[in-house]
């Protein structure tokens, strides 16, 4: 009874999240996440109502549990696509994901046409440990399970093919979101497969408690994912770990240019030169001069920066220079602002001001004043 109460509470929570998200989010594609939570929550609610016979008060909902998987599965699938495709656009072809829902709805029309009294009699005769979809027969239940398994496998395949595994492998030891996403992806795969297996066991052996435990586990997982989506930026940056649409040709090009390059050693050497020795402060750094220090061609260095850091050489250099300038401005209040620019490797005051303003939204002087005021507080 306690487990059923928890499951029911989580079902209501999911419906609330679905409604709340569509109301507060201004992004059109948020309908996928909202649609998923609403339909999944309704699925959990009807499951519990069948078990406690409360569903008898709402005869029109008696057969909906067989229909809902064909809603929450494509909603979830399209939501994940919005995460991994940075320029996702909903196309008319995406409506095909909801075709099974329409076909299932047509199949269920005769059942929906049954009088409320007959529906109540059918539901009342359902065994206490039988899942509600058994009203329509095991064939319908396992068809829905195969449908879910197909979409799950397809989704995992798409994500696997989209991930730039090379970039993650090289950055896994760094303090970046690559590791977070990598672990989250593995967690997603494992929890889905465990849940799928438990569902089959629960239905085949008519184990009510297993099905309820499974529903609670999955619902907690989805709510956990929703919290991650809002609290941690890597959930909004999954596309950053994906190669562009022309990934095949680009990956082949990268492999050609960096074929004989030890990327891990290169990353360490570059970090030592630019972040520890800070050579940009004592010499004029160009793509050619830095490539020479790293024993690379300019094309190889450029490809490394583009492929693994998603930066051009100029952006990479400016990022490091501005980071160092911000450190000096916040720590040393006496050094003139113009001198700070020259100290971090800029060769004109105007270029320093321009790049700094673009990066921070503040002039170097305003940035220093802001930190000075914080220190006084």
Q: Is residue 301 within 8 Å of residue 291, measured between CB atoms?
A: yes
Co-location of 82 and 173 in the same domain = yes
Co-location of 257 and 343 in the same domain = yes
Number of Cβ within a 10 Å radius of residue 304: 24
> Which of 70-79, 217-226, 309-318, 336-345 has the lowest average pLDDT?
217-226
Please identify, among 193, 218, 241, the residue that sits at the C-terminal boundary of a domain: 241
Q: Is the pLDDT of residue 164 over 60?
A: no
Q: Is residue 46 within 8 Å of residue 55, measured between CB atoms?
A: yes
Co-location of 31 and 110 in the same domain = yes
pLDDT for 372 equals 77
Co-location of 91 and 221 in the same domain = yes
Q: Is the pLDDT of residue 246 over 60?
A: no
Please identify, among 173, 207, 241, the residue that sits at the C-terminal boundary of a domain: 241
Domain count of the chain?
Answer: 2
Co-location of 61 and 166 in the same domain = yes
Number of Cβ within a 10 Å radius of residue 339: 12
- Spatial separation of the C-alpha atoms in residues 310 and 168, rounded to whole Å: 13
Burial of 87 by CB count in 10 Å (0-12 exposed, 13-18 middle, 19+ buried)? exposed
Please identify, among 186, 212, 241, the residue that sits at the C-terminal boundary of a domain: 241
The tokens 């002087």 sit on which residue?
Answer: 365
User: What CATH number is attached to the domain comprising 280?
Assistant: 1.10.10.60
pLDDT for 16 equals 92
Co-location of 236 and 254 in the same domain = no
pLDDT for 240 equals 43
Co-location of 42 and 57 in the same domain = yes
What rounded mean pLDDT belongs to the chain?
75
Instruction: Identify the H or E element spanning 290.
Output: helix 287-293
What pLDDT digit, counting tens, does each position of 18-50 carry?
A: 898 888 765 566 788 889 899 989 988 888 887
How sure is the predictor about 142, in pLDDT bands with cuts at 50, 70 and 90? confident
Q: Is the pLDDT of residue 76 over 70?
A: yes
Which structure tokens are listed for 358?
């673009």
pLDDT for 241 equals 43
Co-location of 11 and 51 in the same domain = yes
Q: What is the DSSP letter of 132?
A: G
Q: Is the pLDDT of residue 70 over 60?
A: yes
How sure is the predictor about 250, in pLDDT bands with cuts at 50, 70 and 90? very low
Q: Is the pLDDT of residue 212 over 80?
A: no
pLDDT for 162 equals 64
How sure is the predictor about 133, in pLDDT bands with cuts at 50, 70 and 90? low
Burial of 348 by CB count in 10 Å (0-12 exposed, 13-18 middle, 19+ buried)? exposed
User: What CATH number is attached to the domain comprising 141?
Assistant: 1.20.1070
Which structure tokens are listed for 278?
């800070």
Residue 298, domain extent? 247-376
Ordered DSSP codes for 235-277: GT-GGGGS--TTHHHHHHHHHHHTTT--HHHHHHHHHIIIIIS
Ordered DSSP codes for 293-346: HTT--HHHHHHHHHHHS---HHHHHHHHHHHHHHHHHHH-SSS-HHHHHHHTT-
Q: Is the pLDDT of residue 78 over 50?
A: yes
Q: Is the pLDDT of residue 329 over 80?
A: yes
Q: Which residues of 190-226 are buried (b: 16+ CB within 10 A; e: fewer)?
A: ebbeebbebbeebbeeebbebbbbbbbbbbeebeebb
pTM for the full model?
0.56
What angle in degrees, to the nearest 10, is found between the helix axes of 298-308 and 263-271?
A: 90
The average pLDDT across 284-291 equals 90
pLDDT for 290 equals 92
- Spatial separation of the C-alpha atoms in residues 44 and 143, rounded to whole Å: 19
């Amino acid at each position: 009874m306690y487990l059923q109460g928890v499951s029911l509470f989580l079902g209501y929570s999911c419906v609330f999240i679905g409604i709340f998200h569509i109301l507060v989010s201004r992004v059109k594609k948020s309908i996928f996440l909202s649609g998923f939570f609403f339909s999944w929550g309704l699925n959990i609610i009807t499951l519990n109502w069948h078990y406690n016979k409360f569903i008898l008060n709402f005869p029109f909902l008696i057969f909906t549990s067989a229909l809902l998987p064909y809603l929450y599965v494509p909603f979830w699938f399209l939501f994940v696509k919005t995460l991994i495709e940075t320029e996702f656009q909903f196309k008319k072809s995406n409506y095909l994901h909801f075709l099974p829902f329409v076909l299932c709805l047509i199949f269920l029309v005769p059942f929906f046409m049954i009088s409320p009294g007959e529906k109540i009699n059918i539901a009342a005769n359902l065994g206490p440990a039988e899942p509600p979809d058994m009203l329509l027969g095991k064939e319908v239940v396992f068809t829905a399970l195969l449908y879910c398994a197909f979409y799950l496998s397809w989704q995992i395949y798409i994500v696997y093919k989209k991930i730039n595994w090379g970039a993650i492998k090289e950055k896994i030891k760094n303090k970046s979101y690559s590791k977070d996403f990598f672990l989250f992806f593995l967690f997603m795969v494992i929890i889905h497969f465990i849940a799928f297996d438990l569902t089959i066991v629960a239905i085949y052996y008519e184990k009510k408690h297993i099905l309820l435990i499974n529903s609670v586990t999955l619902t907690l997982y989805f709510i956990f994912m929703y919290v991650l989506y809002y609290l941690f930026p890597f959930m909004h940056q999954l596309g950053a770990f994906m190669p562009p649409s022309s990934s095949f040709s680009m990956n082949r090009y990268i492999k050609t240019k960096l074929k004989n390059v030890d990327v891990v050693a290169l990353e360490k050497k570059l970090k030592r030169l630019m972040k520890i020795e800070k050579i940009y402060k004592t010499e004029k750094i160009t793509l050619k001069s830095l490539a020479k220090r790293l024993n690379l061609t300019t094309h190889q260095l450029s490809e490394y920066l583009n492929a693994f850091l998603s930066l051009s050489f100029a952006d990479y250099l400016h990022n490091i220079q501005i980071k160092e300038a911000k450190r000096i401005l916040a720590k040393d209040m006496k050094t003139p602002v113009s001198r700070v620019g020259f100290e971090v490797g800029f060769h004109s005051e105007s270029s320093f001001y321009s790049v700094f303003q673009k990066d921070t939204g503040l002039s170097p002087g305003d940035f220093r004043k802001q930190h000075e005021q914080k220190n006084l507080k």
